[in-house]
Amino acid sequence: MLLTPIVEIFCDIDDFYKSYVKQFAGKILPRKIGKRQRKTEMSESEIMTVVTLFHLSHYRRFKDFYLDCILGQLSSCFPKVVSYPRFVALIPRILTPLTAYVLSKMGKNTELYYVDSTKMVVCHNRRINRNKVFKGIAERGHSSVGYFFGFKLHLAINHEGEIMSFCITKGNIDDRKVVSQLMQGLTGLGVGDKGYIDKKLEESLAKQGLRFITKVRKNMKKRVLSAFEKFFLSKRSIVETVIDQLKNICHIEHTRHRSPMNFLVNLVSGLAGYCLKPTKPSLTPIMGFI
C-alpha cells in the first residue's frame, strides 16, 4: 500500500491543471482536421496523478504498479479507472501540462546553486544498431564510466536540494553548452565539476551576477577562493545525491521504452515525484552551524 498522501497530491495537481487550462485554453493550436481524440473517462488530473504516484512507490515497472495498485488497492480512489492498454494510449496527452506542473514546482532562489548532468541510457550498447524507438533521436555519448547511447539530463539545484531548472539533450552534447540556459536569471554562487571549466562561460555568468566556480585540473593554476567558497565547493556531492535519488528512487531511467513520448513522460513525472518529496538532500543543517 502506498504511504504517500494521494488525496493531497491529486488536489494539488487538479488545482494546477484547472488554472493551466483556463490560462492556456486560447493559446493551444487546434487539432488537425479529421484527427480524432476520443474523450476518456479518467480526467487529465487523474492521469497526471497516477504517473506521478508511480515514482513515489516502490515499484520498478509501471505495468506492475498500475495493475496491482491502481486497478487493485487504489481502485476506490480512481472510480473511473481505465484498462492498462487504454491508459498507456492516454499518457502522451499529459506531457505538456505535466511539464508545466514540474516547472511550477521549481525551487526558490537561495543564491547558492549546483549544476551537473547525468546520462539517460535508452538501450544497451550491444543493441544500439537494432534500436528503432530512438533511431535518429538519441546519440552516443561518453561519461566517466564509458560510452552510452541515449540522452543527458542537465540539472541546476539550490543548496536545499530543490530543482531550479532542467533540460535534456542528446548524449553527445557538451555539458557547458546548456549552463547559461540552466542558470538564466540566477545570481549568487554556482558550482560545477571539472567538466564545466570554461573561462568564457564564467565571464558570461559573471555579467548576470553569478560567480561560477569549479575545481581545477592538475596542470592549472590554483584559484583564489574564500573560505566559504571552498566549503561550498567541497559539498558538490549534494547534486550527485539528488541525481542518485532521481534514478534509484524515482526511477527516471530504464531501457524498456516503446516510444520517445513515453520516455519524456516517464522523465518528467519522475521529476514531479521528486519535487513532491517532503525531504530532500540539503546543506541547510550543516550551514546552520557555520
pLDDT of residue 120: 95
Q: Is the pTM of this model over 0.85?
A: yes
The band of 145, judged by pLDDT with boundaries at 50, 70 and 90, is confident
Pick the CATH number of 112-259+279-287 from 2.40.50, 2.60.40, 3.30.420, 2.40.160: 3.30.420
The neighbour count for residue 103, using CB atoms within 10 Å, is 14
Mean pLDDT value across residues 81-110:
94
C-alpha angle 102-166-144 in degrees, rounded to nearest 5: 135
Q: What is the pLDDT of residues 156-174, one digit of tens each?
A: 999 999 999 999 999 999 9
Torsion-angle region of 188 (φ positive above 0: left; ψ -120 to 50: alpha; else: beta): left
In the chain, the percentage of residues whose pLDDT exceeds 70 is 92
Q: Could you identify the residue written with the cell 540539472?
A: 155
**Whole-angstrom distance, CA of residue 152 vs CA of residue 66:** 28
Mean pLDDT score of the chain: 90
The rounded radius of gyration (Å) of the Cα atoms in the chain is: 21
DSSP for 33-45? TT------SS-HH
Helices within the chain (DSSP H only): 6-24, 44-54, 62-65, 84-90, 95-104, 179-182, 199-207, 227-234, 237-248, 260-275, 284-287
In the predicted model, is pLDDT for residue 97 greater than 90? yes
Residue 34: predicted pLDDT:
56
pLDDT digits (tens, 9 = 90+) for 203-259: 999 999 999 999 988 888 888 899 999 999 999 999 999 999 999 999 999 998 999
Candidates 107, 58, 52; CA nearest to 283 is 107
Domain range list for the chain = 6-22+40-104, 112-259+279-287
pLDDT score at 65? 94
Return d(Cα 265, Cα 272) in angstroms, integer. Answer: 10
Residue 239: predicted pLDDT: 95
* 3 state SS of 148: strand
Is the pLDDT assigned to residue 182 strictly greater than 70? yes
